[in-house]
């Protein structure tokens, strides 16, 4: 196959325009990204490559991002996915797509590139996020951002000197993961329940959800919120009050039996007030194998915990060492809470923003400070429902939002 020279020339010309636009973006909205990481995972074969690139902003949330790096030579970008990618000389610029510009502090997003390469092409260097060097590189010592100014004349880079190959195409198969051609969905990976509350039409949750007050009703309130959302324009809002009788939950009305005995969940959660010292709950699931008592996710001593309503066992144990192995639930931003409850093995896993939490892990072997108390008896949960909402048993009032909720038989991801 011969590569058309006119196509390459056109691509270079287009790159000039893109580079100028990128410089404008950097000047207008570049934000510090201390501790950022760019992880570049190539998949190479003779004459070509793809690479998956993970963008982790560190302690700064992003509303948009531009990732840049340099190839030592020999690589030429031909396309990408989940980003707008261009190359000028050896410098590659990737800007977020419409749907993945927002990345929370501590979170990450991924995109990919594909291209051609000559033999012996080296690894890319100089990764930067919004103009800030990543992967531990020192920040720039001078004030001008380390961006390449747009060329004032057409680039002098000649077309590739390597003639198009006249030999048969490479025998190495292309990468097994083809780039997706459409934007990823809200990210439910075939889950049985997948709901961003976008089909809610009123101010009170209805349809696939119903408001329930399992014990008694008070001032706790549940509503569909159109002012705050993780995606789309709606979320579930819970105004939870302190005191036992102010419990309020929104319960899924869907048949969840297809999830099976190994249940994975993913919930985007946002709240306003740090978890209190006393016990509170933000999510509950009925356990048919435990007298229909709830398995509860919430907090105590300022950190997240699981709690078994039948015997009040906690995960982790509420010793200082145990609590230290859990994590607080960050306030004022969306957090991705994932969990796995394995009813066959009697195990439990929890991830916050993609990171496994040691103190919220029941791995089948009792460990002091973690799951010692959890395994004070045989535990083989059979969860039958999902309730999102608030229980306080004394102190603790909070406003919470839930969005992009999913339950399935395999891990869904954030």
Footprint on this chain of Ca ion (rule: CB under 5 A):
196-197, 229, 231-232, 234, 403
Residue with smaller CB distance to Ca ion, 294 or 338: 338
Q: How far is the CB of 399 from Ca ion (least distance, A)?
A: 17
Residue with smaller CB distance to Ca ion, 42 or 232: 232
Q: How far is the CB of 328 from Ca ion (least distance, A)?
A: 24
Written as six digits, the tokens of 49 are 């490559």
**Residue 231 CB-density burial (10 A; 0-12 exposed, 13-18 middle, 19+ buried):** middle
Residue with smaller CB distance to Ca ion, 232 or 372: 232
Residue with smaller CB distance to Ca ion, 71 or 197: 197
Residue with smaller CB distance to Ca ion, 229 or 370: 229
Residues 174 and 260: their CA atoms lie apart, in Å, by: 36
Residue with smaller CB distance to Ca ion, 121 or 229: 229
Residue with smaller CB distance to Ca ion, 51 or 224: 224
Q: How far is the CB of 221 from Ca ion (least distance, A)?
A: 19
Residue 196, C-beta contacts closer than 8 angstroms, at least 6 positions apart = 186, 229, 230, 231, 232, 234, 235, 403, 404, 405
Q: How many CB atoms lie within 10 A of CB 220?
A: 23
Residue number closest to Ca ion, CB atom: 196
- Per-residue exposure over 112-140, b if at least 16 CB sit within 10 Å of its own CB, e if not: bbbbbbeeebeebebbbbbbbbbbeeeee
Q: How far is the CB of 243 from Ca ion (least distance, A)?
A: 30
The answer to whether the CB of 359 falls within 8 A of the CB of 315 is yes
Residues 49 and 234: their CA atoms lie apart, in Å, by: 40
Q: How far is the CB of 237 from Ca ion (least distance, A)?
A: 11
Q: How far is the CB of 251 from Ca ion (least distance, A)?
A: 18
Checking phi first, is residue 388 left (phi over 0); if not, alpha (psi -120 to 50) or beta? beta
Tell me if residue 174 falls in helix, strand or coil.
Answer: coil
Q: How far is the CB of 230 from Ca ion (least distance, A)?
A: 6
Cis ω for the linkage preceding 310 (within 30 of 0): no
Q: How far is the CB of 274 from Ca ion (least distance, A)?
A: 24
Residue with smaller CB distance to Ca ion, 193 or 303: 193
Residues 48 and 112: their CA atoms lie apart, in Å, by: 14
């Amino acid at each position: 196959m011969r590569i058309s020279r006119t196509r390459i020339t056109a691509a270079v010309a287009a790159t000039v325009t893109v580079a100028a636009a990128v410089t404008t973006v950097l000047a207008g909205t570049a934000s510090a990204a201390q501790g950022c990481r760019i992880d570049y995972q190539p998949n190479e074969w003779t004459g070509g490559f793809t690479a998956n690139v993970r963008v982790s902003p560190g302690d700064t949330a992003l509303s948009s991002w531009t990732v840049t790096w340099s190839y030592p030579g020999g690589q030429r970008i031909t396309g990408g996915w989940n980003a707008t990618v261009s190359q000028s000389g050896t410098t590659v610029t990737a800007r977020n797509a419409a749907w993945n510009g927002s990345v929370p502090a501590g979170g990450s997003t991924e995109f990919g590139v594909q291209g051609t390469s000559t033999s012996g092409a080296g690894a890319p260097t100089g990764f930067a996020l919004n103009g800030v060097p990543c992967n531990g590189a020192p920040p720039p010592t001078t004030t001008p951002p380390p961006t390449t100014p747009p060329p004032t004349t057409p680039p002098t880079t000649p077309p590739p000197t390597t003639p198009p190959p006249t030999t048969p195409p490479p025998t190495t198969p292309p990468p097994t993961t083809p780039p997706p051609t459409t934007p990823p969905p809200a990210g439910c990976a075939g889950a049985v329940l997948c709901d961003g509350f976008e089909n809610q039409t009123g101010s009170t949750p209805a349809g696939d959800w119903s408001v329930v007050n399992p014990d008694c009703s008070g001032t706790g309130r549940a509503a569909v919120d159109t002012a705050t959302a993780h995606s789309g324009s709606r979320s579930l809002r819970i105004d939870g009050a302190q005191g036992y009788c102010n419990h309020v939950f929104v319960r899924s009305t869907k048949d969840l039996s297809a999830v099976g005995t190994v249940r994975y969940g993913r919930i985007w959660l946002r709240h306003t007030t740090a978890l209190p010292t006393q016990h509170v709950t933000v999510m509950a699931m009925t356990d048919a194998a435990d007298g229909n008592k709830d398995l509860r996710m919430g907090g105590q001593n300022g950190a997240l915990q699981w709690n078994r309503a039948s015997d009040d066992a906690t995960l982790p144990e509420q010793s200082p060492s145990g609590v230290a192995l859990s994590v607080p639930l960050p306030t004022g931003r969306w957090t991705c809470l994932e969990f796995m409850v394995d009813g066959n093995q009697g195990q439990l896993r929890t991830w916050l923003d993609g990171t496994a939490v040691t103190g919220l892990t029941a791995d089948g072997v009792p460990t002091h400070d973690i799951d010692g108390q959890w395994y004070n008896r045989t535990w083989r949960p059979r969860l039958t429902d999902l309730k999102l909402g608030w229980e306080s048993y004394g102190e603790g009032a909070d406003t919470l939002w839930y969005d992009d909720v999913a339950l399935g038989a395999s891990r869904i991801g954030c």
